[in-house]
Amino acid sequence: MALSIGIVGLPNVGKSTLFNALTKAQNAEAANYPFCTIEPNKATVAVPDKRLDALAEIVKPQRVLHATVDFIDIAGLVRGASKGEGLGNQFLANIRECAAILEVVRCFDDENITHVDGAIDPLRDIETIETELLLADIQSAEKRYERLQKMAKGDKDAKAAAEEVARLLEHMNAGNPASTFEARESDAFQLAWREMGLLTAKKIIYCANVDETGIGEENAHVLRVRELAASRGADVVKICAKIEEELQGLSDEEQAEMLGSYGIDESGLVSIIRTGYHTLGLASYFTAGEKEVRAWTIKQGWKAPQGAGVIHTDFERGFIRAEVIAYDDYVKHRSEAACRSAGVLRVEGKEYVMQDGDVVHFLFNV
């Protein structure tokens, strides 16, 4: 499973600059005017993980495969997008499959960069973004409700699902996000829920974009964003898109030196991915062999068969057992054979709960 993050924000808040920097792909034009991102931009980025690099140094495989993150950048939203203002909300469909939404808000003052609403106010921007996401969800739910009503005439399940969608619409029309809706158990409604891909049901990460002076300190704009996020149980990432852009093309040593000069120890890419894993409750495990050393993304709390299923569904169906070595033990003993001899290789069954950093070899029936 790959982590997918949709990047949203108002025009001229730095989200396309951020996209360029995060993906090292200069295919999202960054310009000082609204709506410079017309088509959605998507890029797949390797997840930086020093543990994977350490394992590769020990095993010396033919190839090293990182876990990946998909970033999708869409055109800037403005107030009234659901009614066609600006470029409208036509591109929101491109992030309905994303696991999380990164809301980029501008938290710096610069008279040379215009703001679509005339002044810097990140909380107002967040309200605008989330209102447009909610209105888009209402439109989606209304369409689903109409279809279910037509089906309900001869289908009891469709009728029950239609009633639930009606409750959902009432909930959202009152200004509430889909994430706070308590649905009754219904297979038909759960199917409708998944197909709608409601944006306000997704996890939100707030991204405060600051200037160079704000990266090492908490300005008033950032503090307001953090306070709002805390009240909603959401995570916040503070980045400087301009610095991230300047990091591109530098060696690892040069990047570390530049980040250190600003008093930070990790890039925006690492910070956003780390926060995304935390927000979504994700973890990584590793497989290590002569052919490849590879990182795999799983949900925290998954049991061994589910973890095996990420590699291939046959692994989950035919799961027999898992041979597990903790990352620290593998690095200490330097090989699977040495870990076995030292007694730190464990044989686990179907009830084993996967741990972040496990180095695993699965055995299964074909």
CATH classification at residue 336:
3.10.20.30
Q: Is residue 288 part of a domain?
A: no
* Residue 294 belongs to some domain of the structure: no
In a domain, 153, yes or no: yes
pTM of the predicted protein model: 0.90
Q: Which of 39-48, 205-214, 297-306 has the lowest mean pLDDT?
A: 39-48
The predicted structure's pLDDT at residue 24: 67
Is 176 contained in some domain?
A: yes
- What average pLDDT score do residues 79-104 get? 74
Provide the annotated binding site for ATP.
Answer: 12-17
Give the whole-angstrom CA distance, residue 359 versus residue 45: 22
Our count of domains for the chain comes to: 3
- Domain containing 69 equals 4-119+202-280
DSSP letter (8 states) at residue 192: H
Q: Are residues 227 and 359 in the same domain?
A: no
Domain boundary among 224, 249, 280: 280
pLDDT band (50, 70, 90) for residue 93 = confident
Is residue 213 domain-resident?
Answer: yes
For residue 292, tell me if it sits in a domain.
no
In a domain, 142, yes or no: yes
Per the annotation, binding residues are 12-17
What is the distance between the alpha carbons of residues 205 and 105, in angstroms, rounded to a whole number? 11
Residue among 172, 299, 298, 340 at smallest CA distance from 183: 172
Rounded Cα gap, residues 288 and 206, in angstroms: 35
Cα dist from 53 to 220, 264, 307, 335, whole Å = 39, 22, 21, 15
Choice between 187 and 99, residue whose per-residue pLDDT is larger = 99
Report percent pLDDT > 70 for the chain: 89
Confidence of residue 302 (pLDDT cuts 50, 70, 90): very high
pLDDT at 109 over 80: yes
Q: What CATH number is attached to the domain comprising 150? A: 1.10.150.300
Helix (H, G, I), strand (E, B) or coil at 357: coil
Within 8 A by CB and 6+ apart from 200, the residues are 130, 133, 134, 137, 172, 177, 178, 179
- Band of residue 226 on the pLDDT scale cut at 50, 70, 90: very high
- Same domain, yes or no, for 258 and 330? no
Do 319 and 181 share a structural domain?
no
pLDDT: which is higher, 134 or 14: 134
Does residue 25 have a pLDDT over 70?
no
* Domain stops at, among 280, 309, 331: 280
Q: Are residues 143 and 99 in the same domain?
A: no
113/216 same-domain check: yes
Asked if residue 348 and residue 316 are part of one domain, the reply reads yes
- Residue 187 is assigned to a structural domain of this protein: yes
CATH code, 211:
3.40.50.300
Final residue before a domain boundary, out of 141, 165, 196:
196
**pLDDT > 80? residue 39:** no
Question: How would you classify the pairing of strands 41-46 and 292-299?
Answer: unpaired
Tell me the three state secondary structure of residue 11.
coil
